[in-house]
Amino acid sequence: MTHSFTAPNGAPLSRFCFGAMQFGGKADATQSREMYDACRAAGINFFDTAYVYTGGESERLLGQFAAQDRDQLIIATKVGYQGGGGRDNLRASFAECLDRLKMDRVEILYLHRWDDETPVEETFETLAELQQAGKFDHIGVSNYAAWQVMKAQAVAAQFDTRIAMFQPMYNLVKRQAEVEILPMAQAEDIAIVPYSPLGGGLLTGKYAAGESGRLADDARYKTRYGQQWMLDAAAGLAEIGRDIGVNPATLAVAWAARHPGVTAPIISARNVEQLQPSLDALSFEMNDALYARLSALSPTPPPATDRLEEA
């Protein structure tokens, strides 16, 4: 990449990012601290949070933990999920993010989602002003379509800035990003930091083993991951894991990380025990044969042109 993502001390971005979405929610302060420490011990220096996570507790806890080694860390937060991408909302939300984190700046500021109601020019002029004031280094976007990224990128150029990072959903049963998002990012020099490599817990193998979780408790996740072919793919992944003696969560994260367009998948959990298989993926070497075997568990999405004969 032509741009680099570094901590204040110059340390480069770690291969994985930790998502602090559960901090202060399903993970209490002690569990959150233990996961933070486990990530640091594993060499992770990239941490992700957002204005809307756990009513602000995610940012508050991450800020507390990060204070001891702030210069070594790359911190990302997100604004605009609530209240839209207007100037006043972005400025007020981001100011509150920094206050919660007890930081005067972060490395990456994401727009959490596309806003149809606000002119893109207003949004990116505001981001450019904050960036030029030294409040953050890089602009990121999350949950955008590829066309939205390119539209926003053209507008960002008017203000002498650019989108440098993109956070889409991507995992073994959610492969839509392969159609346009990943090729676009590779062509346009945009770092991809995908979330949900475990498919909301589906790809950990716990559902195939008869356990419960968000797919049973959360209507959004049941809709997102409740199709039978997805459940079958998760069962197939668990079976392969048993065959080769590797936790299916490790395989799922390593699979997402292996795509050449992926910079750093976001891993997360409720406690250290649940997190460990994802951390194990840092050192897991996935060969071409295993990658192909796992990829065959789910359908490859058709090309954007839908010309299947050219795929």
Asked whether the CA dihedral 45, 49, 54, 56 is positive or negative, the reply is: positive
CA within 13 Å, CB half, 276 = 6
Strands in 163-167's sheet, in edge-to-edge order, are: 191-192, 163-167, 136-142, 106-111, 74-79, 46-48, 17-19, 266-267
Distance CA 95, CA 147 (A): 29
Residues near 308 by beta carbon (within 8 Å), at least 6 away in sequence: 302
In 3D, which of 134, 54, 59 has the Cα closest to residue 96?
A: 59
Are 20 and 58 a contacting pair, CB within 8 Å? yes
Are 172 and 237 a contacting pair, CB within 8 Å? yes
Catalytic member of 36, 53, 170, 221: 53
Are 166 and 150 a contacting pair, CB within 8 Å? no
Q: Is 53 a catalytic residue?
A: yes
Q: What are the catalytic residues? A: 53
